[in-house]
Amino acid sequence: MTSAAFAELDAAFAEHGPDLAADPPVAVGHRVVHGGTRFREATRIDDEVLATLEELTPLAPLHNPANIVGIRAAMAHFPDIPHVAIFDTAFHRTLPPAAYTYAVPREWQERYDVRRYGFHGTSHEYVSGRVADLVGRSDIAIVVLHLGNGCSACAVLDGQSVETSMGMTPLEGLVMGTRCGDLDPAIPFHLARTTGMAAADLDRTLNKDSGLKGLTGVNDFRTVAERAEAGDAAAAAAIDVVTHRLIKYVGAYAAVMGRLDAIAFTGGIGEHSPLLRARVLGSLGVLGVVLDESANAAARGEGLLSAPQSRVAAYVVPTNEELQIARESVALVGR
Ligand code: AMP
């Protein structure tokens, strides 16, 4: 399967360019979901790094094995250039202990790496960087809302991630396409006791059959919004739950940072749903957010959503994880 993928890649380059013979690639950048505490920045991949990634598999059993298959295949296809791992967790290396520590026995962190790591870091770094460019300064307090099938919020203070909603795994935090986000941790035990559900069933249900899908039967926000518009009560209630959680997070992050200068929406929903952006921004008057409704409705691509008198600048910023990965890869190999 991987060789078929690379055949397609070669065919796409042959059709659309650039000509790899005349303009050869200098590196291959790989998005890797979990770097644990071992990888805190972009890392050149060698056998030792691959072995360490394999050791990290228990932290990301769904993601890291697939990443490793892709890396090995790409290394076989491009054997003569450096391969660089860019970790989804790395941007959150600046989380303070107060934000990353769960209130569980200390030993769990020391022996089992139980702590919050955060994900979507490449996207949060790219989008917060764009917001700093748009505002014209980097010493600002930003909340980035990455809302796609996976969703996460990140508080970025002076260019550094100081809080984020995903935790040890991508299951924590916001309501997502199929993931529940925040949950009373006693719920799985209650279900195990009362229904006999096994750990693997609960894991699958909370990751694959919850979130929008659990509430409405579909994980696609656009469909949920269309149903709500047509009068479907379950769909409307699901959007209420999504919105409520977002408002709660933005308010909490403003408090954590001590101020809020900007909010940015990204990801498939964040970039394309004026409805959800309006619901969230329209509920943040307490923070001094004033929505420009027509700018929000008309926004295509990057744009300002807040009115001139708004104390907080709100933007939509299409994410560009590929560009961020390319930049970090080139910076590491020192073109
Ligand atoms: P992503 O994972 O970033 O590709 O985002 C996927 C999510 O974006 C899905 O829930 C889609 O329904 C949602 N989405 C994409 N386009 C739109 C749109 N025009 N309006 C609302 N949601 C959208």
> pLDDT over 70 for what percent of the chain?
99
Residues known to be catalytic: 88
pLDDT at 1: 64
Q: Which amino acid type is present at position 157?
A: L
pTM over 0.85: yes
> pLDDT over 90 for what percent of the chain?
90
Q: Are strands 83-87 and 28-32 parallel, antiparallel or unpaired?
A: parallel
- For tokens 């020192």, the residue is 334
Atom of ligand 1 nearest to the CA of 149: 2
| Contact call for residues 95 and 38 (beta carbons, < 8 A) | no
* CA dihedral over 50, 51, 52, 53, signed as positive or negative: positive
pLDDT value at 128 more than 70:
yes
Q: Are strands 141-147 and 262-266 parallel, antiparallel or unpaired?
A: parallel
Confidence band for 97, pLDDT divided at 50, 70 and 90: very high
The rounded Å distance from CA 301 to ligand 1 centre is 14
pLDDT at 201: 97
The rounded Å distance from CA 192 to ligand 1 centre is 33
Confirm or reject: Cβ of 229 under 6 Å from ligand 1. no
The answer to whether 2-118 and 136-321 have equal CATH topology is yes
Q: How far apart are CA 48 and CA 71, in angstroms?
A: 13
Confidence band for 237, pLDDT divided at 50, 70 and 90: very high
pLDDT at 146: 98
Query: By three-state DSSP, how is residue 112 classified?
Result: helix
Burial of residue 193 (CB within 10 Å: 0-12, 13-18, 19+) is exposed
Report the nearest-CA residue for atom 18 of ligand 1.
272
Confidence band for 333, pLDDT divided at 50, 70 and 90: very high
pLDDT at 335: 59
Q: Which amino acid type is present at position 309?
A: Q
Alpha carbon separation from 215 to 74, 167, 209, 245, 300 (Å, rounded): 39, 22, 9, 14, 29
**pLDDT tens per residue across span 151-200:** 999 999 999 999 999 999 999 999 999 999 999 999 999 999 999 999 99
pLDDT at 145: 99
Nearest in space to 68 (alpha carbons), one of 49, 44, 50: 50
The rounded Å distance from CA 267 to ligand 1 centre is 7
For the chain, helix (H) and strand (E) counts, in that order, are 15, 9
Angle at 122 between CA 149 and CA 39, to 5 degrees: 115
Angle at 269 between CA 245 and CA 287, to 5 degrees: 45
Atom of ligand 1 nearest to the CA of 223: 12
Identify the weakest region by mean pLDDT among 15-19, 113-117, 189-193, 252-256.
15-19
DSSP-derived secondary structure letter, 178: S
Confirm or reject: Cβ of 177 under 6 Å from ligand 1. yes
| Contact call for residues 183 and 219 (beta carbons, < 8 A) | no
pLDDT, greater one: 281 or 23: 281
Confirm or reject: Cβ of 100 under 6 Å from ligand 1. no
Alpha carbon separation from 58 to 51, 61, 121 (Å, rounded): 13, 5, 20
The rounded Å distance from CA 147 to ligand 1 centre is 8
pLDDT value at 2 more than 80:
no
Give the domain ranges of the chain.
2-118, 136-321
pLDDT, greater one: 196 or 18: 196
Confirm or reject: Cβ of 268 under 6 Å from ligand 1. yes
The arithmetic mean of pLDDT across residues 252-264, rounded, is 98
pLDDT at 75: 94
Q: How far apart are CA 41 and CA 161, in angstroms?
A: 14
Confidence band for 5, pLDDT divided at 50, 70 and 90: confident
**pLDDT tens per residue across span 55-89:** 999 888 888 899 999 999 999 999 999 999 999 99
Report the nearest-CA residue for atom 17 of ligand 1.
272
Query: Mutation test of ligand 1: which of 222, 224, 239, 276 has the most ligand atoms closer than 8 Å to its C-beta?
Result: 222
| Contact call for residues 166 and 173 (beta carbons, < 8 A) | yes
CATH classification (class only), 136-321: alpha beta
pLDDT value at 243 more than 80:
yes
pLDDT at 4: 85
Mean pLDDT of the chain: 96
Atom of ligand 1 nearest to the CA of 319: 3
Report the nearest-CA residue for atom 9 of ligand 1.
220
pLDDT value at 20 more than 90:
no
Pick the CATH number of 2-118 from 3.20.20.70, 3.40.640.10, 3.30.420.40, 3.90.1150.10: 3.30.420.40
The arithmetic mean of pLDDT across residues 264-288, rounded, is 98
Q: Find the Cα–Cα–Cα–Cα dihedral 85, 129, 242, 256, rounded to 10°.
A: 100
